[in-house]
Structure 1
Amino acid sequence: MLFDMDGTLVDSEKLWDVALRELAEEYGGTLSTAARLAMIGSSMAASMRILHDDLGQPWRDPEISAAWIDRRILELFRTGLRWRPGALALLRAVRDARIPTALVTSSGRQLVEVALDTLGRDSFDVVVCGDEVDAAKPHPEPYLTAARLLGVPIGRCVAIEDSPAGVTSALTAGAAVLAVPAEVPVPAADGVHQRESLTAVDLEVLAALLGAPR
C-alpha cells in the first residue's frame, strides 16, 4: 500500500498556500492561482521555479527560496496539520491487516519528520521523501523505490494520490491508482480510479483495484 502525504493523508496544501503566498509577498509580488495550482504534487525545486517565473523574478536563487519555505512550513506543520476525511481510518485498517505500507511524498525529510508526529511513526514500513530520490514526481522513481524497499512487486501495489503529478508517477511506475482529488482535478485516465474522499474506501475496495484491468 502506497500513500501520498500532502492533500491525500493530511490537509496540508492549505498550509503550503500560506507559506508560498507569504514568500511571494516577501518578494514584493502576488502568487497567481494558476501558478499555485501548477505546484501541487511537484518537487520543491520545480515549485520555486514556478513561483519565481510567476513573479517575473527568474533570477532568484531557488535554494534560498526553498530554505525560506522550509522554515515557514515547519512552523505551520507543527501547529496546524489535520487529517483528510477517511484517511486515518483507512491507514489504521491497512496497518491492522499487516499490509506492507509506504509513505511516498514530494516533501523533504525534515518536513516529513514533523508530519510523522501526526501520521504516526509506526504507520509505515517505508518512507520515501522527495529529497531522497534522483527524480521526483511525476517521474515514476518515487513509487518504484517504495515498492522495491517494501519487497513487493509494483504491480501488486495500490497507490493513493490527490494530484495529477502524483497520479502520473504512480501510474507510470505500474501501480494500481486511486485518485482522491483535493485542490485540483485529476484528469480521467485508464487505470486511474477516482473517489471524492477516502471515507468509503476500505480493504475490499483496495483489493478490487488490484483485480481490475489497468
Structure 2
Amino acid sequence: MPTANLAVLPATARNTAVQGVLWDMDGTLLDTEPYWMAAEGDLVAEHGGRWSHEDALSLVGSALPDSAAVLQRAGVDLGTREIIDLLNERVMAGISNHVQWRPGALELLEELHQAGIPCGLVTMSEGPMATLVLSLLPKKYFAFQVTGDQVVRGKPHPDPYLLGLEKLTELVPDLESHRIVGIEDSAPGITAAAAAGLTAVLVPHLGHVPESDLWHSIDSLEQVGLPTLSSLIGIGAR
C-alpha cells in the first residue's frame, strides 16, 4: 500500500493532537478470540491433554511462540512451528467463514480516515492472517501492518510498537510517540503500547487487565471518536 506524505494530508490531521493510531487486531479490531480458544482447546484435546477456559484466557494477547510453549506444556507433542501453523490454519478458516468486528471499530476507522489520521496494525498474529483481515475491511484504512513474525520479541515487549512508530515516521516526519495512540484489549498488548511511549488506550474484551496509571481504560470503542483520542494526548492516564 503506498504511503502518504504529511504535507498532503487534510488540514484536520495537522490540527489535531493525534498524529497516528496503532491498532491491535485480535480482540480489538475484530473478535477472533473464540476462534483462537477453540483451536487451542481442540489441539490440546487431540493430544490427550487438559485445557480450561482459564488456560485459554491466559494466552489472550500473547506472542504465538509463547502460546505454543504453553500448549506444549499442556501436552501438545508438536514443534513450535507446527503448532503455530495449525492454529493459524484453523483461525483463518473461522475468519473466512465469519467476521465479527468489535463494536465501534469500523466507525472509528472511518472517522480517522476522513480526518487523514494514518493508522497501522500491530498484531501478534502472523502476516497471512493480518493480510486476510485487512482484505475484509470495507476500505484500505491501514497504511501498514506489523505482525508477530516481523519481531523477535512480541508483546508485552515494546518491540512491535516501536517498529510501528518507525513505520509511522515515513508518514509523520515530526512524530512524537506520545501523540500516537495505541488501542489494545489485553494485558500483554497494553503493556507493550505503554512501554513504547504511546498514549495507550485499553478497551477490555476477554480476560482481566489490571488498572494502571500507564494507560486509559474505555469500556467500548463506541464511546470513542477523534475528539476523545485528542483529549487523552498529554493527559495522565485515568
Range into which the TM-score falls when normalised by the shorter chain: over 0.9
On the 8 A contact 1:144/1:154 being kept in 2, the answer is no
Which ranges in structure 2 are unaligned for 5 or more consecutive residues? 1-20, 170-174
- Alpha-carbon distance in 2 for matches of 1:178, 1:154: 14
Q: C-alpha displacement at 1:122, in angstroms?
A: 1.4
The SS at the match of 1:199 is helix
Shift of 1:43: 0.9
The range that moved more, 116-125 or 141-150, is 116-125
Equivalent position amino acid for 1:100 in 2 = P
In the other structure, the counterpart of 1:3 is: 23
1:89 aligns with 2:112: no
**1:121 CA drift (Å):** 6.2
Return the offset for 1:54.
2.7
Q: 1:114 and 2:132 equivalent? A: yes
Deviation at 1:211, TM superposition (A): 2.9
* Structure-1-length-normalised TM-score: 0.94
Partner of 1:12: 32
Write out aligned runs for 1:37-56 (5 A): 37-55=57-75
With a CA cutoff of 8 Å and minimum separation of 6, indicate the structure with the bigger relative contact order: 2
* Contact 1:147-1:153 at 8 Å conserved across structures: no
The 1-side partners of 2:164 and 2:97 are apart by: 29
Q: Structure 1 unaligned runs (5+)?
A: none
Correspondence for 2:180 among 146, 150, 157: 157
Find the structure with the greater CA-based Rg: 2
> Shift of residue 120 of structure 1?
5.0
Quote the Cα distance in structure 1 between the aligned partners of 2:45 and 2:214: 40
Once the two structures are superposed, residues 80-112 of structure 1 have per-residue CA deviations (whole angstroms, 9 ceiling, x without a partner) of: 221001111011111111012111100000111
- Structure 1 counterpart of 2:26, one-letter code: D
**Aligned-pair RMSD on alpha carbons?**
1.5
Quote the offset at 1:187 in angstroms: 0.7
Amino acid at match of 2:43: L
Tell me the distance in 1 between the aligned counterparts of 2:188 and 2:139.
Answer: 26
Tell me, yes or no, if structure 1 residue 26 matches structure 2 residue 46: yes
- Select the residue among 217, 223, 226 that pairs with 1:200: 223
- Aligned equivalents of 2:236, 2:49: Cα separation in 1: 47
Q: Does 1:63 align with 2:81?
A: yes
**Higher mean Cα deviation, 117-126 or 203-212?**
117-126
Identity of aligned residues (%): 36
Distance of 1:62 and 1:171 partners within structure 2:
29
Q: Which residue of 1 aligns with 2:199?
A: 176
| Range moving further from structure 2, 33-42 or 79-88 | 33-42
Partners of 2:138 and 2:42 in 1: how far apart?
29
Q: Alignment length, in residue pairs?
A: 212
Which runs of structure 1 show a deviation greater than 4 angstroms over 4 or more consecutive aligned residues? Answer: none
Secondary structure in 1 aligned to 2:121? strand
Q: Distance in 1 between matches of 2:215 and 2:137?
A: 25
2:58·2:207 contact (CA, 8 Å) conserved in 1?
no
* Structure 2 letter corresponding to 1:33: H
Aligned counterpart in structure 2 of residue 139 of structure 1, from 157, 173, 182: 157
Instruction: Choose 67-76 or 99-108, whichever is displaced more.
Output: 67-76
